[in-house]
């Protein structure tokens, strides 16, 4: 089954404790992206990757890091999480400019 998976699905952590949210897709897509979704603000892009070893900033990259060492994986790293990073995070993948397939989401709470 073609899918995008994210782990963990739910995470509660404390300020400053480094964390990684994993994302994996099995569709051989070149393009992968991370979004956060907040009430009243909609979906906003954090980082994206056009292919292996190629990443670039989206609209809200501050406080986040990404890496793309393999085509199927695109982890999101929060080196020092803060409460304003409490949000619902989505990973997505696609073939270039085609419609993106989204993962199920990771709900992160930073206290």
Partner 1 sequence: EDQVTQSPEALRLQEGESSSLNCSYTVSGLRGLFWYRQDPGKGPEFLFTLYSAGEEKEKERLKATLTKKESFLHITAPKPEDSATYLCAVHETGGGADGLTFGKGTHLIIQP
Residues of this chain that bind partner 1 (CB under 8 A): 4, 33, 35, 40-45, 48, 50, 56-59, 90, 92, 97-105
Task: Indicate if the alpha-carbon torsion angle 37, 38, 42, 48 is positive or negative.
Answer: negative
Q: Which is nearer to partner 1, 80 or 96 (CB)?
A: 96
Q: Closest Cα partner for 72 from 11, 109, 41, 27?
A: 27
Q: Which is nearer to partner 1, 32 or 78 (CB)?
A: 32
Minimal distance, residue 41 CB to partner 1, in Å: 8
23 preceded by a cis bond (ω within 30 of 0)? no
Q: Which is nearer to partner 1, 30 or 72 (CB)?
A: 30
Minimal distance, residue 1 CB to partner 1, in Å: 14
Q: Which is nearer to partner 1, 50 or 77 (CB)?
A: 50
- Give the CA distances from residue 50 to residues 54, 70, 72, 76, 107, in Å, rounded to whole numbers and listed in that order: 6, 12, 12, 15, 25
Contact in structure between 89 and 70 (CB atoms under 8 Å): no
Minimal distance, residue 6 CB to partner 1, in Å: 9
């Amino acid at each position: 089954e073609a899918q995008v998976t994210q782990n963990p699905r739910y995470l509660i952590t404390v300020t400053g404790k480094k964390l990684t949210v994993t994302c994996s897709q099995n569709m051989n897509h070149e393009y992968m992206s991370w979004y956060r979704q907040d009430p009243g603000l909609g979906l906003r892009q954090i980082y994206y990757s056009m292919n292996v070893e190629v990443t670039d900033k989206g609209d809200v990259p501050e406080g986040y890091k990404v890496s793309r060492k393999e085509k199927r994986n695109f982890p999101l790293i929060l080196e020092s999480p803060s409460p304003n990073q409490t949000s619902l995070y989505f990973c997505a993948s696609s073939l270039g400019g085609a419609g993106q397939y989204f993962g199920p989401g990771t709900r992160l709470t930073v206290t």
